[in-house]
Chains A and B, each alone.
Chain A
Amino acid sequence: MPVPDDEALETHARRMFRLIYGIVRNVPDAQDLTQDSLLKALRRKGQLKDSRKVAQWLNRIAVNTALDFMRRKGRVGFDQLVTIPAAKTESPEHGAIRSETRRWLNRGLKRLTQRERTALLLRDVEQFPAGEVAKMMGCSPATVRSHIANARVKFKRYEKENPR
C-alpha cells in the first residue's frame, strides 16, 4: 500500500471512526482506536496484496481493533452525553426528536451481545453486505446471519416492550 496523501488518509480515518464508534459508542475511545488502527495499517502496509481493496482492508483492521478493545473492556460504555451536530437545515424540534430516537436505539442495542450488536450495526447502519460483515468479523456468513437474525428479533422485542 503506498502511503496515502493527507486527504485520502482523512477520508479513511472518517470512515474507520464511524465504524469504530458504531461498536464502542464512545467518542474518546473511538478516536484513540481510529488512531491505533491507522497506525497498525501504516506499519503493516506490506500485508495488503491488492491495493484496490485498501478500504476493505482498513475496515477489517478497524473492526478487529474495536472488537479486541471491547473484549478487553468487557462492556459498552455508551456515550449518553454525546451531541451530534445537527444539519444546518434542521429545526431544533427535529434535532431533539433525532437525539431522543438515538437514545432509544442505544438503549435497545444494550440488550444485544457484543457480536450481535456489531453484526447488526455493520449490516443495518453501515449497510455492508452480509458476506463483507462476516469477513470483517472473522467468522462465517452463516454465523453472521445468525447474529443478525437474533439481533433483529431481540430488537423487535425491545420495540414492543418500549414503544417510542
Chain B
Amino acid sequence: MAKPRHATEQVLALHAGGELGRWRRFLTDRHLSKCAACRQSAAEYERARRDMAALRDAPTVDFKALTRNVRAAALTTSPARRLRGRWLVATAACVAAVALALLFTTPPVRSPAPEVPSAGQGMQAMWDEALLGLDAGDAQVGAAGELSFRAYDPASGTLSITEYY
C-alpha cells in the first residue's frame, strides 16, 4: 500500500486560517482525518493563531486631542507642503546658480579648424573666418614644398598673395 502523502506546512498553515480553496480544503480535511501527525501539526497552527489574539490590545492615546490636531492641521497648510514649497524654491535657486556658473566658466567657442582638402599632390587649407589676422583666404602647400597664402580683405577689397619657397 502506498504511503499517504503528508500535507505541506504551507497548506496546513493556510488550512488553520481558512484561506484554502474549497477543493484544497476538502483534500486536506480528508488527509487530516487519516493522518495523526498532520492533525497534530494543524492543531499547533490553530493554537498559534489563537495566541495572536493577545496582540489585539493596543495602547490607548488621547484620541480627542489627536483628532483636534488633525482638524486644525487640515485647515492650515501642512508642514510637509510648506517644506515641499521651500524645497522647490531651493531647487530652483540651485539650478539658476549652476546655470550662471556654467555660463561664466565655459570657455568661448573657437572657430572650427580650417578644412584641409587635398590639392593635387600638395595640401590646401581654406578658411572663411578671421584667422591669423586675415578675414578669408586659403593656404596651399605645393608638391615641391612651396607654401603660398592668399587672403582677401572684404573691407578694402584687397587680395594679397604671399609665397614662400
Contact = CB atoms under 8 A, between A and B. Distances in A.
Interface in B44-82: 44-45, 48-49, 51-61, 63-64, 66-67, 69-71, 73-74, 78
Interface stretch (A27-35, A48-56, A63-71): A27-35
Contact of A125 (B9, B48, B53, B78): B53
Interface residues of B, number: 33
A156 B48 contact: yes
Nearest to A145: B19
Contacts of A10: 63-64, 67
Contacts of B61: 17, 27, 30-31
Given A39-B78, A84-B57, A84-B59, A153 B64 contact: no
Interface of A: 6, 9-10, 13-14, 17-18, 21-22, 27, 30-31, 34-35, 38-39, 42-43, 82-85, 98, 101-102, 105-106, 120-121, 123-126, 130, 145-146, 148-150, 152-153, 155-156, 159
A9 B67 CA distance: 7
24 contacts: A13-B67, A14-B63, A22-B55, A27-B61, A35-B66, A38-B67, A39-B73, A43-B78, A83-B59, A84-B59, A102-B54, A121-B55, A124-B53, A130-B19, A145-B19, A149-B9, A149-B10, A149-B11, A149-B19, A152-B17, A152-B45, A152-B48, A153-B9, A159-B51
Contacts of B10: 146, 149-150, 153
Query: Which label, helix, strand, loop or mixed, suits the secondary structure of the A interface?
Result: helix
Contacts of B73: 35, 39
Contacts of A145: 14, 19
Interface of B: 9-11, 13-14, 16-17, 19, 44-45, 48-49, 51-61, 63-64, 66-67, 69-71, 73-74, 78
Contacts of B64: 6, 10
Query: Which label, helix, strand, loop or mixed, suits the secondary structure of the B interface?
Result: helix
Contact of B19 (A9, A21, A102, A148): A148
Contacts of B59: 21, 27, 82-85
Given A10-B63, A84-B57, A152-B13, A42 B52 contact: no
A34 B54 CA distance: 22
Contacts of A30: 61
Contacts of A152: 13-14, 16-17, 45, 48-49
